[in-house]
Structure 1
Amino acid sequence: MTLITLLLALVLERFLGYMSDFRNPRRLDAYVGRFGALLDRIGLTHPGFRLLVLALPPVLVVGWLGGWLSAVLLGLPGIIFGVAILLYCLGPEDLEEEINNYIEAVAVGDEARQRRVAARLLGDVPPDDAGVRARRVALAGFAESNDRLFTVIFWFALMGPAAAVLYRLVHSIARAHDAVPPADEAEVGEDAESGEVNEGLARVAAGLAGLMEWAPARLAALGYAITGSFDHALVGLREHFWSSEDGLRRGSRLLLSESGAGAVRLDDLLDDEADAATLSAVFATVTNHIQRNLIVWMAALALLTLGGWAT
């Protein structure tokens, strides 16, 4: 049932496209904001307890509904429910669509659009140099594939829809980890206290997200090695497999970036003077390699299902 649900969701995603309205991350942000305000009123400020209380309602509801629906009508409602949950949790932005947007911006010479798309993928201010920016976007494609695809698939296959929802919620809160500035020392009162609470919550969420991303990132990096230049990808795997000097999340992203770049031999494909046609071919190679890795994952899950190790 898990394999069927995943395959249906992935096929539907290809046909349905971007689904920006359905996957709007502002819904999760609104939920966290409103529930957080309620926790403020009752005086619950400990970041760990706040995250637990925030996560429990959606996880319990989704888990209960998934179990109940899977037990009726031969499990068909459970499959439909699981597909809907997956379609919501994958993303929230479509990775291939964003990379294609960057390619189009390069093709028409739209510098402002390039910078907007690059900023979304990098989660940071993009470099001014076009060649450096293109390389960082390509690396971000491999790193973002774990956040947007592989971690969701991993936890859905392992523990069902509730785990996928938990990761998407935690990831949504963790995105604010670098965005929430510490409260200014001159601030006093409720605003300063709220900023400190939000920062603490984001840090705890980032830590949990890092733990949930650790195993999928290693499996995804191994998949990139299998589907590309194994020797070159193995360099990144060896150097960064246990890397956590900058935190679990950054270590996983670095592992995926380096192993993915090695697998497609990015440095051989991309140079500082690459034109629009060359960049288009490079980014097509990146997206195709991510898709091949996804096929490897589905094939592995199919073998586990046939062998009786997965349902």
Structure 2
Amino acid sequence: MSFLVLLLVVLILRFTPWRTGFPLDLVTGWSKALSPRCQHWHPLLALTALLSPLLLLWLLDGLLTGFVYGLFTLLLHVLVLLLCVGRSDPLGNLFDELRQALLRNDHQAASLLAERDFGLTTENPQELRSALQGHMLWETAHGYFIPLFWYLLLGPLGALGYRLLQRGQGFSWPAADWSARLCHALEWLPVRMLGLSFALVGRFEQALSVIRDYLGNWDQAASQVVTRIGRAALGQPETAGTAALDQARQLLLRALLIWVVMWALISLV
């Protein structure tokens, strides 16, 4: 059933207005509402409160199992995965304004937009294109690939657990440190699997060389791992127009296709 869920979510994201997932960002809303109420709680207690929706999901998933031939379970899994995908649409319209500036060769406007929208500060057009590539790679990794990885491995509990931790680390409250640590642990394996996918669809030897450097490295931030491997798989970013962004987008789409095909084959076994 997981492959059917994946297929339905991809179709919804691609062909409906829900390109950024479920219209209501319930995961962020839960974290935002909880954080001020837990300011004086013990970190483990605050973390337990953050992850408490997992218990409700587990109970609901168990109750719906086998009901109406699994249709309600299918709908529940699709809904949870839509709640867990990223909200920025990095493969869609996130970079539209920047693309327009780059197509006009207006590097000053592009730099200002990159700083305003993404917090990226660069010195020259080459740095700007490289930074934008890295931002697209990481936004797509934590927005799509990592939740997908944990859904395929642990079901909806895995995807929702990661997204709760990822959102929980963004607030100043007792659970932030524990959320960041656990989030880092959950990102370690999928970002390296994604890096291997980049190697298969990009510059294999260059990407594999970077992957080897990170295989035994626990402390490196997942965003830096994805960015470095992705850049190695892409090579030097193009200097004309939006070519650098287009290269990164194509790399990510090919990597996503590999994941879908591999899971389809596993589902058939």
CA shift in 2, pair 1:131/1:24, >3 Å? farther
1:221-278 Cα distance to aligned partner (Å, 9 max, x none): 000001111111112112222223xx35x1x22221122112121x1x43xxx232xx
2:175 partner SS: helix
Whether the 8 Å CA contact 1:18–1:94 is kept in 2: the answer is no
Give the deviation of 1:172 after TM superposition.
Answer: 1.0
Whether the 8 Å CA contact 2:162–2:183 is kept in 1: the answer is yes
Where do 1:180-191 residues align within 5 Å?
none
Residue 221 (structure 1) aligns with:
195
Give the deviation of 1:112 after TM superposition.
Answer: 5.0
Partner of residue 85 from structure 1, selected from 74, 80, 83:
80
Residue 184 (structure 1) aligns with:
none
1:3-29 Cα distance to aligned partner (Å, 9 max, x none): 11011101210112564584555x444
Residue 240 (structure 1) aligns with:
214
CA shift in 2, pair 1:30/1:256, >3 Å? closer
Residue 205 (structure 2) aligns with:
231
The answer as to 2:248 corresponding to 1:286 is: yes
Give the deviation of 1:96 after TM superposition.
Answer: 1.1
The answer as to 2:45 corresponding to 1:49 is: yes
Whether the 8 Å CA contact 2:64–2:73 is kept in 1: the answer is yes
Partner of residue 264 from structure 1, selected from 224, 234, 239:
234
Give the deviation of 1:288 after TM superposition.
Answer: 1.1
Residue 15 (structure 1) aligns with:
15
2:198 partner SS: helix
Residue 33 (structure 2) aligns with:
34
Name stretches of at least 5 consecutive residues in structure 1 with no aligned partner: 181-197
CA shift in 2, pair 1:261/1:28, >3 Å? same
Give the deviation of 1:92 after TM superposition.
Answer: 2.0
CA shift in 2, pair 1:302/1:210, >3 Å? same
Question: Bigger CA drift: 227-236 or 30-39?
Answer: 30-39
Whether the 8 Å CA contact 2:101–2:110 is kept in 1: the answer is yes
1:176-233 Cα distance to aligned partner (Å, 9 max, x none): 4xxx5xxxxxxxxxxxxxxxxx1x4222111111111111111100000011111111
Whether the 8 Å CA contact 1:101–1:117 is kept in 2: the answer is no
Name stretches of at least 5 consecutive residues in structure 2 with no aligned partner: none
Residue 192 (structure 1) aligns with:
none
Partner of residue 106 from structure 1, selected from 94, 102, 105:
102
AA partner of residue 204 (structure 1): W
CA shift in 2, pair 1:21/1:31, >3 Å? same
The alignment-based identity, stated in percent, is 22
2:95 partner SS: helix
Partner of residue 225 from structure 2, selected from 255, 266, 273:
255
Where do 1:88-167 residues align within 5 Å?
88-97=83-92, 98-108=94-104, 109=106, 111=108, 115-117=112-114, 120-121=117-118, 124-167=119-162
CA shift in 2, pair 1:125/1:231, >3 Å? closer
- Aligned counterparts of 1:141 and 1:5: Cα–Cα separation in 2: 25
CA RMSD of aligned residues (A): 2.4
Whether the 8 Å CA contact 1:102–1:118 is kept in 2: the answer is no
1:86-116 Cα distance to aligned partner (Å, 9 max, x none): 1221112111122344322322438456544
AA partner of residue 167 (structure 1): Y
Larger Rg: 1
AA partner of residue 240 (structure 2): D
AA partner of residue 46 (structure 1): H
What is the TM-score of this pair, normalised by structure 2? 0.88
- Aligned counterparts of 1:140 and 1:234: Cα–Cα separation in 2: 21
AA partner of residue 158 (structure 1): L
Number of aligned positions between the proteins: 267
- Aligned counterparts of 2:6 and 2:175: Cα–Cα separation in 1: 31
CA shift in 2, pair 1:257/1:20, >3 Å? closer
